[in-house]
Amino acid sequence: MNGVHDMGGMHGMGPVEIEKNEPVFHSQWEARVHALNLACGYHRKWNIDMGRHSRERIPPAEYLAFSYYEKWLRGLEMLLVENGLVTPKELATGRAESKASGAGVLRASEVAGFLRVRRLARMDDDVPARFRPGERVLARNDHALGHTRLPRYARGKRGVIDRDHGVFIFPDTHAMTRDKKPQHCYSVRFAACELWGQGASARDSVYLDLWDDHLDPA
């Protein structure tokens, strides 16, 4: 979707300000929201791409006004209701109408193991690669309404396959229909001038990780 989350190349956002000696969390609620997101993910009612898409669907004015963990909180509320773990009434009142049935719950003793996951998105499927390193590609000029990992600033632009990362889940379908649609994911090099015009430095480039379904031969 052409949302405000797709920020690459936007103007007017102000300076980058690095906070000295920044704490991991600025307040306790931020820490709880981060942990709640992980602990709720344990139920496997949604995947990481659905998680990202939930935050992308926060209305633009709110998305820009929210702090980072406010977005995580709102996204989690959406996921809990949409995937049936919490009812809208429960969310509104804060009172449980029923207990979760049968589901296990992440225990403190399981946290370390839970975080040591080795495979998230890489797949073993034997899918042929459509492109080889060094080949020229054109990023598709698609404007899907749903989730996509192809940012607007690269659409319709020409790049070169830098390396083939192997076969990965395709987030664009995984977020919408849970279809993993395994395919090759590549690092694609775009010259800065191709993306931003002749004002950009001729030496510089931007590398994006894109999938077969984002690319055509150029």
Nearer to another protein, 29 or 218 (CB): 29
Nearer to another protein, 135 or 166 (CB): 166
Among 2, 27, 141, 177, interactor with another protein by CB under 8 A: 27
- Main-chain phi, psi angles of 11, to 5 degrees: -105, 160
The rounded radius of gyration (Å) of the Cα atoms in the chain is 20
Tell whether residue 161 is a contact of another protein (CB under 8 A): no
Helices 48-56 & 68-82, crossing angle to 10 degrees?
110
Using CB under 8 A as the binding rule, the residues of this chain from 114 to 133 that contact another protein are 115-122
Residues 6+ apart with CB under 8 A from 49: 147, 169, 171, 172, 174, 175
Q: Using CB under 8 A, which of the segments 88-96, 126-134, 175-183 binds another protein?
A: 88-96
Nearer to another protein, 106 or 176 (CB): 106
Q: How far apart are CA 100 and CA 70, in angstroms?
A: 25
Nearest to 39 by CA among 114, 102, 117: 114
Q: Using CB under 8 A, which of the segments 130-138, 162-170, 175-183 binds another protein?
A: 162-170
Among 46, 47, 50, 55, interactor with another protein by CB under 8 A: 55
Tokens of 20: 């000295």
Tell whether residue 67 is a contact of another protein (CB under 8 A): yes
Nearer to another protein, 140 or 149 (CB): 149
Q: Using CB under 8 A, which of the segments 4-12, 125-133, 175-183 binds another protein?
A: 4-12
Nearer to another protein, 135 or 200 (CB): 200
Tell whether residue 81 is a contact of another protein (CB under 8 A): no
Q: How far apart are CA 51 and CA 83, in angstroms?
A: 11
Among 57, 83, 111, 194, interactor with another protein by CB under 8 A: 111
Among 59, 62, 96, 142, interactor with another protein by CB under 8 A: 96
Taken as a whole, the chain contains a residue count of 218
Q: How far apart are CA 33 and CA 72, in angstroms?
A: 7
Whether 97 and 90 have beta carbons less than 8 Å apart is answered as yes
Using CB under 8 A as the binding rule, the residues of this chain from 136 to 155 that contact another protein are 149-151, 153
